[in-house]
Amino acid sequence: GWGARTRVPIVQGDYICRYTGELLTNQDAEKRGGDALTYLFDLDKEMPRNCETPFTIDARLYGNVSHFFNHSCDPNMAIWAVYINHLDPRLHELAFFAIRDIAPGEELTFDYSPHEPVATADPTPHKFVCHCGAATCRGFIF
């Protein structure tokens, strides 16, 4: 991916930005998911693990800098569900926060699959092989 780097020091716990884009139903997102270039992010942070996600954000056409953030198995940011003007768990916002201090010039990264095991012997059942280079790389993105 393109990647994004910070020009200023960021302190652990600092808010970085929200993931923005077009709000889609899960059905519409599934149709777009076959495109070669997608920036789909399911709004599943507050949903039980085995429930279908009703909404997805697509940042491809209407996103901000956050859709340039790359994956790392050893990230410097994490993403949290945040609520603005309502408490509907199906429609939370997605906000990035620093999980450690980040130096100027450092790439901003987060783990695309934070609930996956730390490492795996065989990444072949996964769709995307990871090339992050982290010592703790699990071998796949998702």
User: Among this protein's residues, is 19 annotated catalytic?
Assistant: yes
Which candidate in 15, 62, 83, 112 is catalytic?
112
Which candidate in 15, 19, 39, 62 is catalytic?
19
- The angle at the Cα of 119, spanning 118 to 122, to the nearest 5 degrees, equals 145
Q: Give CA–CA dist 16/24, Å, rounded.
A: 24
* Residues with Cβ within 8 Å of residue 45, at least 6 apart in sequence: 79, 80, 81, 92, 94
User: Among this protein's residues, is 112 annotated catalytic?
Assistant: yes
Residue type, 69: F
Residue type, 70: N
CA Rg value for the chain: 15
Q: Give CA–CA dist 8/92, Å, rounded.
A: 28
Q: How far is CA 93 from the centre of its chain?
A: 12
Which residues are the active-site residues?
Answer: 19, 112
